[in-house]
Structure 1
């Protein structure tokens, strides 16, 4: 069963290989690596024919450069080794170019029956370049691969001297360019998707911060109105009187008291809000609600965050657990904070398989609590084993005061 502890990264952010760009690169790497290997049996006859008219060193040299890196590329892509895959893709493109360019050094000048084996695969080399290189370098690699392949093919075949080598080369470039452009756009689209996702996370965090600032600003406004301005008005009306001096001392004490305590809700009111939020999502949902200490008060903004996170967890369970799943919701207000658990016995899932664009669980549930001081969130799930979302918030001030009372 997969468990994401409170300190783990968020579901979609914690999996680096879930980035759209990386996934597209991996798919193209598998395609290119498998494509190279698939050509080997198809080119066997052409390889043998070409070897008869080249120096003994060139064929093993060219085959190693051409097909060696794609094998590494395929294995690295299948095993999720991105760095190795990146360099293997570049080596596959460069290796083909070097192999094709050095054919002239080894050729004996006699016509080669059929066709040169490397003439068939410059497009695959161009796709290898497109996986990790910029569009400019990928286009340059394509041209560098196509030109020697077409030129040598023209002069090495006895029946091709009537062909226009320039026209044939331009046709090859235009044909390969269609596939190369598609690959470049696909990789670039992955980058755009990743940037969009990052912006979405940033905007969600900014919205949460803005809400916190608005809440804090309202308390500052209240302090200014109730104490600072009233003290100044009293001083203007009464002058330097004893009562004004006392009021000024109290006001200064409040200004120097550090962070302003946010509005707090009684435990019963907080529980009523949490229950109401769950029932708005599912009116028939049974809720195990317990208040351990009626005397504590909880910050209103904390209750709002937990309320929203629990509601989203219930909503996710309804949508994804399956029609036959049952779920439990437990809300527990203790003397030190709030504990909330949403659990179902439904389909479950593999956290690493959550698509990068799915923000409900990552941001609206886990992210909310992990961004809250004192908040923790834990996800326990696996395919076929249900899902449990455990949320908690601990009031460090309440805990400190409880320890002090216990010590006395």
Structure 2
């Protein structure tokens, strides 16, 4: 499997988790915007307590990274989103800690610092992109810093119990952080379950394909032997019968010794593809590039069998779902290349509307071709019909 295929497989394996991360990231960004609007009076008041650099810098960095995290959720790469979420999460405790370096130790404020209003929001960013332990550690550190800051800046005024304030804030934030972690974990479990189901289905489909191939092979040998014997009784020994008998004996030897074809000639490859198509639909229109029959190119049997199985699945789907009156298959074999196209004029389908448990397209067509080294599958469907393109390149 090449690198591009590995990347696409990895992306597909984490689709649910990535979607949840994007949704939660946008929710966090909306939260940052709401708190910015609500805290404008507190931000202005805090500017009188600490030197001028801390308040504007904190507003820009804390809220800016929160908005950047939300914006990053529209990026196609999940790694970018995780980095943006980590930056947003880390910026909050860093700027809360820098408050102590900026405070003059003399000016007091009964209202406390504005950061104390939303440590849980920054913890949500951490929970979205981090594992549970670092996420809860981030929440604890952020809550402790801002609550101790409030206690210090309220020194001359009546104060509540610092320990009680810390535990209350932590319990309040824990509800949302735990819910976020549970949601992301559910996405991971769902992805793992889907991946396992698809792998199991692919293995089962491969086993079924091997069994069907063995049955076809046995039937082919039986037919060759019987036709040879019948030809002897009717026509006696002829050059064509001798060739047919030698072929039958060679096939019998391969069967008894367990020999498995590793390559197919162009004629044999086309016979496999045509057999797969006509097994599903005897009336199928099957066209080939006639020039290919003159070639001596050898094709891997694994590639031909995979394309034949995917071709059969595409035709079965068309027969069951497409409601079409016309179906056709075209095959093109060239040096080191095989292309097969299945067309119908049916009603088409929307890939997004296919239920997750329907694995025919995902596993039997795309999954099978993706597992084939050099294989590819492309499905184009609309109300005018469906085109399935299967390919292999050495």
TM-score after normalising by structure 1: 0.66
Check whether the contact 2:42–2:114 (CA below 8 A) recurs between aligned residues. yes
Q: Does 1:274 align with 2:280?
A: yes
Check whether the contact 2:306–2:369 (CA below 8 A) recurs between aligned residues. no
Alignment partner for residue 62 of structure 2, among 44, 61, 66?
Answer: 66
Q: Does 1:289 align with 2:275?
A: no
Residues 216-365 of structure 1: pairs in structure 2 closer than 5 A: 254=254, 255=257, 259=261, 273-275=279-281, 289-290=284-285, 306-317=311-322, 327-332=324-329, 340-345=342-347, 348-349=349-350, 359-365=359-365
Distance 1:29 1:266 in 2: 51
Q: Does 1:127 align with 2:129?
A: no
In the alignment, what sits opposite 2:388? Answer: 390
SS at match of 1:388: strand
Check whether the contact 1:19–1:194 (CA below 8 A) recurs between aligned residues. yes
Check whether the contact 2:306–2:372 (CA below 8 A) recurs between aligned residues. no
1:159–1:317 Cα change, 3 Å: farther
In the alignment, what sits opposite 1:283? Answer: none
Alpha-carbon shift at residue 364 of structure 1 (Å): 3.3
1:328–1:369 Cα change, 3 Å: farther
SS at match of 1:381: strand
Distance 2:145 2:369 in 1: 60
Q: Does 1 or 2 have the higher relative contact order (CA < 8 Å, sep 6+)?
A: 1
Check whether the contact 2:144–2:166 (CA below 8 A) recurs between aligned residues. yes
SS at match of 1:179: helix
Distance 1:252 1:82 in 2: 55
In structure 1, runs of 5+ residues without a counterpart are 1-7, 223-248, 277-287, 319-326, 397-408
Alpha-carbon shift at residue 9 of structure 1 (Å): 6.8
Distance 1:105 1:193 in 2: 46
In the alignment, what sits opposite 2:76? Answer: 80
Alpha-carbon shift at residue 253 of structure 1 (Å): 6.8
SS at match of 2:364: helix
RMSD: 4.6
Alpha-carbon shift at residue 18 of structure 1 (Å): 7.0
Structure with greater helix share of residues:
2
Check whether the contact 2:139–2:170 (CA below 8 A) recurs between aligned residues. yes
In structure 2, runs of 5+ residues without a counterpart are 220-248, 294-303, 334-338
Check whether the contact 1:30–1:78 (CA below 8 A) recurs between aligned residues. no
SS at match of 2:160: coil
Q: Does 1:154 align with 2:151?
A: yes
In the alignment, what sits opposite 1:25? Answer: 21
Alpha-carbon shift at residue 317 of structure 1 (Å): 4.0
Distance 2:306 2:81 in 1: 47
Alpha-carbon shift at residue 86 of structure 1 (Å): 1.5
1:82–1:56 Cα change, 3 Å: same
Distance 2:252 2:346 in 1: 53
Alpha-carbon shift at residue 170 of structure 1 (Å): 0.5
